[in-house]
Structure 1
Amino acid sequence: MAAWLPDTLFEIVGQGPAPSKDYYQLVVTRSQLIFRWWKISLRSEYRSAKPGETKETHEDFLENSHLQVQIALIFGTRILDYVFNLCEGKVDFLERLTDKLLLKIIFYLDLEDIARLSQVSHRFAKLCRSDMLWELIVQSTFDTITPEMRSLAKDLGWRQMFFTNKLQLQRQLRKKKQKQGRQEEQF
C-alpha cells in the first residue's frame, strides 16, 4: 500500500500565533517530518536570524513532545492529530481520492446513503450537495433533459430540481417560458 503513496504525504504553511509574524512550513514525507521556520521581525536582534529546519523520522517525532506542542500552537490540534496519524502509518486513502472520482462513486449510492455520507465530514457534505452529483442523478432518472429543464436547473440547482415533483416542475417550466416570451415581446 505504501507504494501507492506519493513521497509527500502532507504539507501545510502558516503564520505563528499573534503577535508573531514568523512563517512556518510542515512537510510529512513517507519517511520523515520536516519543520521549517522563518523569523519575520523588525527588531534588530532578529534581523540576522537565518531560517531554521528540523528533520525527524516518524518514530522520533512521535516521541518529541516539544515539536508536537509547537505544531499544535501554530497549526492547531486537528493538524497535529492528522500528522500524528500519518507518522503512525494510519493513512486515509479515501481522503486522497479526487473529488471527481468520489462523485462517480457517490453517484452509485442510494439516496439514504448519500444523506448519511453528507454527515461524515465537510468535504463529503460539499460533495453530496454538489450540482455535479445531482446533475448525474437527474440525468440517470429522467429519460430526456430538455434545454428548458437545463435552464431551470441552472436557476434552481440540480438537487432542488430532483426533489421537486413532476407537476411542480412542469408549472415552473411553463412560468419560465411565459416569462421568456414576455421579455422577447418587450424587445
Structure 2
Amino acid sequence: MTVDILQLLDFSVSFRWWRISLRNDHHLNRPGVTKECYEDFLDDVNLHVQIALIFGSKILQYVINLCKGKYDFLERLSDPLLLRIISYLDLEDIARLSQTSHRFQKLCTSDKLWEQIVALTCDTVTRDMKALARDIGWRQLFFTNKLQLQRQIRKRRQKNDDKEVPVET
C-alpha cells in the first residue's frame, strides 16, 4: 500500500509518498519527497501525470490554477452559504448561474434553494403549502400561480379528508 500526500505551501508544491507493507522486502523503502517552487511545478509534466493518476485530473487542474494565481473562492464556500446567496438573485440570474457548472446546476434546482426563495417572496407559508411542496417540489410551487395553487391545496385537503372518514359497512 502507498500513502500519498500533496501539499500546497506558500511558494512551493510538495508531494510525499510512503510505501507500506507487511513484507520484509519493503522495509528498506524510505518515504519519498518532491518539492518544487510553483514555476518549476508548472513545467514538470511527469509530476503532473503522477498527481493526475493518484489524485485525479480535477485536483491536478486545481493545483495548477492555484500555482498560476487563479483562485476560485466560490469553490471553497459551503453549499448552505451559496444557497443563501443565490436565493437573493433575480430569476434570470439563477437560470444563467445554473448553466455555469454541475455544482451550480444542482444548487439552482435544489428544493432547499426554492424553499428559501418561497420564504423570501411569500408573506406566509402555510402548512398546506409546505405539504404541497413536499409532493410537487418547492420550485414547482413557486412557479404555480395563486389560483392553481389554491385549487391544488383544496384538492389535497379533500383527498386527505376522504382518507380520514371511516367507511361504514
* TM-score with structure 2 setting the length: 0.82
SS at match of 1:67: helix
SS at match of 2:6: strand
Query: Partners in 1 of 2:149 and 2:81 — Cα distance?
Result: 30
Quote how far apart the aligned CAs of 1:114 are: 0.5
Question: In the alignment, what sits opposite 1:93?
Answer: 73
Q: Out of 111, 115, 119, which is 2:99 matched to?
A: 119
Question: In the alignment, what sits opposite 1:128?
Answer: 108
Quote how far apart the aligned CAs of 1:125 are: 1.0
Quote how far apart the aligned CAs of 1:168 are: 2.5
Shift in CA distance, 54/130, structure 1 to aligned 2, threshold 3 Å:
same
- Stretches of structure 2 that go unaligned for 5 or more consecutive residues are none
Question: In the alignment, what sits opposite 1:179?
Answer: 159
Q: CA RMSD in A?
A: 2.4
Q: Out of 45, 59, 84, which is 1:104 matched to?
A: 84
Q: Could you report, residue by residue, the CA deviation over 1:4-42 in whole angstroms, capped at 9, with x for unpaired residues?
A: xxxxxxxxxxxxxxxxx5443322233322212233567
Same amino acid, percent of matched pairs: 61
Question: In the alignment, what sits opposite 2:34?
Answer: 54
Q: How does 1:1-187 map to 2 (within 5 A)?
A: 22-39=2-19, 45-46=25-26, 48-186=28-166
Shift in CA distance, 186/22, structure 1 to aligned 2, threshold 3 Å:
farther
Shift in CA distance, 38/185, structure 1 to aligned 2, threshold 3 Å:
farther
Query: Partners in 1 of 2:113 and 2:10 — Cα distance?
Result: 33
Query: Partners in 2 of 1:170 and 1:29 — Cα distance?
Result: 58
Query: Partners in 1 of 2:62 and 2:162 — Cα distance?
Result: 57
Aligned length: 167
SS at match of 2:123: coil
Larger radius of gyration: 2
Query: Partners in 2 of 1:60 and 1:98 — Cα distance?
Result: 32
Shift in CA distance, 100/29, structure 1 to aligned 2, threshold 3 Å:
farther
SS at match of 2:165: helix
- Stretches of structure 1 that go unaligned for 5 or more consecutive residues are 1-20
SS at match of 1:33: strand
* TM-score with structure 1 setting the length: 0.76
Query: Partners in 2 of 1:22 and 1:142 — Cα distance?
Result: 55
SS at match of 1:89: coil
